[in-house]
Chain A
Amino acid sequence: MSNKGIHIEMLQKRYGSGDTAVDALKRIDMQVDPGEVIGLIGPSGSGKSTLLKCLGAVIEPTAGRMTLGGQVIYDNGWKVNDLRALRRDRIGFIFQAPYLIPFLDVTDNVALLPMLAGQSNSEARAKARDLLKALDVDHRARAMPSHLSGGEQQRVAIARGLVNRPPVILADEPTAPLDSERALAVIRILNDMADKFETAIIVVTHDEKIIPTFKRIYHIRDGVTHEEAGEGRGFR
């Protein structure tokens, strides 16, 4: 078992207590290796969002263990001290909508994270420009988000998720607003980036178009994960 990427054992999340307690996550086991892109699918109410929030260090699980890039994050009630810094430095987020900061240009949207982590503006912007070039949106580096197309915005959002070289990226339905061609382009980019930066990428999706591209898929039903082999018609 790899100690890099993300590793989850027996993760549980309970809301409330006593008679009104709800077990949103009953047993989550998951392993995503560096450079791997996996799909996380499940019907509404199955616990996808709760799992995503636990993985994203936004809410704390009730029990279970999670390691991220070899670092223990949760261990049966114990948690790492600074979840905010963890989110900033070790987890990348890509949302259903790009959610770019509308008052920052493309470069600064990407450079903001390293700046928040204490890097100098010039250093952070250089990193951002490199990533924008890798994602082929460097020609829009000075543009404001409102002037970008949907596909360009999503690529900028991917760049933002990758800029701090996190061991894991959580992508919450990243292709939902896109047509088939653009959706597949985004998945191709995610696969390329996972390869290039040795990042584990978890894609939460309902999108039938992209499900066949995953080599491995975790189904979540009633708060329990089930691993399945995907069709793997990926891009590698």
Chain B
Amino acid sequence: MISLAGRDIMHAWGKFVFTGLGLGLLIGVTLSMAGIYRGMVDDARALLDNSGADLWVVQKDTLGPYAEPSSIYDDVWRSIRGIQGVIRTANVTYLTMQVRQGERDVRAMITGITAGDPGTPGWPPYLIAGRHITRSHYEAVVDIATGFRIGDRFQIRRNHYTVVGLTRRMVSSSGDPIIFIPLKDARDAQFLKDNDAILQQHRRTTETLAFKPAGVLDAVLASQNANSYVNALLVQVEPGYRIEETAETIRRWKRLTVHTRTQMEEILVGKLIATSAKQIGMFLVILSIVSSAIVAFIIYTLTLGKIREIAVLKLIGTRNRTIAGMIMQQAIALGSIGFVVGKISATLLMAPIFPKYVLLEPLDSIRGFIVVIVICVLSSIFAIRAALKVDPAEAIGG
């Protein structure tokens, strides 16, 4: 038996191809939306992976340092380093801000890293050009997505930094590229007041009678200008030690909150990007409904255009299932054309130009294809119902 659907498609291929193109662009947008969600999750995981930490020690009862503000004393590491199983610790600060890059602003996450060597928690795990930070001030390693190149200079607050190294896929959970600078510079950027504010505070403090006794004023002024906070302490646990047990020890003795990698992933994926994920989910549902409506309308219209032929087919003895099969096969063919166009457009057109990282996973494509086919099959039901209602007598005049 010849394929009636195939012959009809070949006969009106232009109609099918152009309809498939339109549907494909819609499917491309849908796949891109799924890719954006995957990208957000991947960004969150990249942030955790690249930090090189097994544990995040943060301010008590906070979800810091990424999902909530967190401040802990910068000398906490000394006591935690002594806990059994802890092999490495490193203070870290995070601050998201706009950085001027040439004529444009780049939103970046400024990460303050402690002095050390590659492999120190918080450090970029690899570079694609240049070198790591070797000086204690005014050097930076940046993600290539910032647009900076080796040797470029940029300003954060009142200090200028020189780009000495480039890295890739170092992003915050929001997808903002990371700029690594020395910890002290980063703390200044985050906590240090500007000169006017310092002068005004100095004047007020000096005029306060309570600080007049000898030595008190100097001590107060010194404490006001000193900054002894970081956002979190990254901890590496020695292989062979159970991470959860080490975390529990720190919680018990230091009265700080400690997040493991699993808990941190839950915070980032389950809480930080949950609203965005829901929005994308809603878009996916809406796009699926729109796609269904379009496929249903197209197949229904194509079927109505063949009512006379269907009546003739029924009159000459064609089974209903043959006619239903023809319509369903056409719907599936349309969906397949649409999916191929959508996959190509999402991969080659949409993902590269999208401002956020779009991760198109093969498994999502397979799921997407199955969903498209199911939608096409369901959408063809209206057309099949219309075709099966056609009276073969319509082929006979009168």
Residues of A within 8 A of B (CB): 48-50, 52-53, 56, 58-59, 84-89, 93, 95-96, 99, 101-104, 108, 112-113, 115-117, 121, 144, 160, 172-173
Among the stretches B7-15, B163-171, B273-281, the one at the interface with A is: B7-15
For the complex, give the distance between the alpha carbons of A165 and B54 in Å. Answer: 83
Q: Which residues of B contact A48 (CB under 8 A)?
A: 398
Contact in complex: A95, B312 (CB < 8 Å): yes
Contact in complex: B8, A93 (CB < 8 Å): no
Residue with the greatest number of chain A CB neighbours at <10 A, chosen from B2, B10, B312, B317:
B317
Residue B393 is within 8 A (CB to CB) of chain A in the complex: yes
Contact in complex: A84, B393 (CB < 8 Å): no
Q: Which residues of B contact A49 (CB under 8 A)?
A: 396-398
Contacts A93-B315, A103-B11, A116-B316 given: A108-B396 contact, CB under 8 Å? no
Closest A residue to B312 using CB positions: A99
New A-B pairs, 7, CB < 8 Å, besides A58-B393, A101-B4, A116-B316: A48-B398, A49-B398, A93-B396, A95-B396, A95-B397, A101-B313, A116-B319
Residue B395 is within 8 A (CB to CB) of chain A in the complex: yes
Residue B136 is within 8 A (CB to CB) of chain A in the complex: no
Q: Which residues of A contact B7 (CB under 8 A)?
A: 103-104, 108
Contact in complex: B12, A103 (CB < 8 Å): yes
For the complex, give the distance between the alpha carbons of A112 and B319 in Å. Answer: 12
For the complex, give the distance between the alpha carbons of A116 and B313 in Å. Answer: 10
For the complex, give the distance between the alpha carbons of A58 and B395 in Å. Answer: 10
Q: Mark B116-135, 1 if CB is under 8 A from A, else 0.
A: 00000000000000000000
B388 to chain A minimum Cβ distance, whole angstroms, is 13
From B2, B12, B313, B315, A56 is in contact (CB under 8 Å) with B315
Residue with the greatest number of chain B CB neighbours at <10 A, chosen from A53, A101, A173:
A101
A206 to chain B minimum Cβ distance, whole angstroms, is 11
Contacts A84-B319, A103-B10, A103-B12 given: A121-B312 contact, CB under 8 Å? no
Residue B214 is within 8 A (CB to CB) of chain A in the complex: no
Contact in complex: A113, B396 (CB < 8 Å): no
From B2, B318, B398, A108 is in contact (CB under 8 Å) with B2
Residue B392 is within 8 A (CB to CB) of chain A in the complex: yes
Contact in complex: A59, B317 (CB < 8 Å): no
Closest B residue to A53 using CB positions: B393
Contact in complex: A102, B393 (CB < 8 Å): no
For the complex, give the distance between the alpha carbons of A170 and B308 in Å. Answer: 18
Contact in complex: B315, A96 (CB < 8 Å): no
Residue B309 is within 8 A (CB to CB) of chain A in the complex: yes
For the complex, give the distance between the alpha carbons of A10 and B11 in Å. Answer: 47
Residues of B within 8 A of A (CB): 1-2, 4, 7-8, 10-12, 308-309, 312-319, 322, 391-393, 395-398
A94 to chain B minimum Cβ distance, whole angstroms, is 11
6 A–B contacts, CB within 8 A, in A order:
A58-B315, A84-B319, A86-B317, A99-B309, A103-B7, A116-B316
Contact in complex: B317, A89 (CB < 8 Å): yes
Contact in complex: B397, A96 (CB < 8 Å): yes
A-B complex: 8 closest residue pairs judged by Cβ atoms: A88-B317, A49-B398, A103-B11, A103-B8, A58-B393, A87-B317, A103-B7, A99-B312
Contacts A89-B317, A103-B12, A144-B11 given: A116-B322 contact, CB under 8 Å? yes
From B308, B317, B319, A113 is in contact (CB under 8 Å) with B317
Contact in complex: A59, B393 (CB < 8 Å): yes
For the complex, give the distance between the alpha carbons of A73 and B355 in Å. Answer: 72
Closest A residue to B11 using CB positions: A103
Q: Which residues of B contact A86 (CB under 8 A)?
A: 317
Contact in complex: B398, A116 (CB < 8 Å): no
A176 to chain B minimum Cβ distance, whole angstroms, is 9
Q: Which residues of B contact A102 (CB under 8 A)?
A: 11, 309
Q: Which residues of A contact B395 (CB under 8 A)?
A: 93, 95, 99
For the complex, give the distance between the alpha carbons of A86 and B392 in Å. Answer: 14
Contact in complex: A121, B1 (CB < 8 Å): yes
For the complex, give the distance between the alpha carbons of A121 and B7 in Å. Answer: 14
For the complex, give the distance between the alpha carbons of A115 and B2 in Å. Answer: 8
For the complex, give the distance between the alpha carbons of A95 and B315 in Å. Answer: 11
Contact in complex: B316, A93 (CB < 8 Å): yes
Contact in complex: B317, A121 (CB < 8 Å): no
For the complex, give the distance between the alpha carbons of A103 and B391 in Å. Answer: 21
For the complex, give the distance between the alpha carbons of A173 and B2 in Å. Answer: 30
Q: Which residues of B contact A95 (CB under 8 A)?
A: 312, 395-397
For the complex, give the distance between the alpha carbons of A104 and B2 in Å. Answer: 10
Q: Which residues of A contact B4 (CB under 8 A)?
A: 101, 103-104
A180 to chain B minimum Cβ distance, whole angstroms, is 21
Q: Which residues of B contact A58 (CB under 8 A)?
A: 315, 391-393, 396
Contacts A49-B397, A58-B396, A172-B396 given: A115-B1 contact, CB under 8 Å? yes
For the complex, give the distance between the alpha carbons of A102 and B315 in Å. Answer: 16
Contact in complex: B398, A52 (CB < 8 Å): yes
Contacts A103-B11, A108-B7 given: A52-B319 contact, CB under 8 Å? no
Q: Which residues of A contact B393 (CB under 8 A)?
A: 53, 58-59
Closest A residue to B313 using CB positions: A101
For the complex, give the distance between the alpha carbons of A101 and B319 in Å. Answer: 16
Closest A residue to B320 using CB positions: A84
Q: Which residues of A contact B314 (CB under 8 A)?
A: 84
Contacts A95-B395, A103-B11 given: A87-B316 contact, CB under 8 Å? yes
From A59, A93, A104, A116, B1 is in contact (CB under 8 Å) with A116
For the complex, give the distance between the alpha carbons of A101 and B8 in Å. Answer: 9
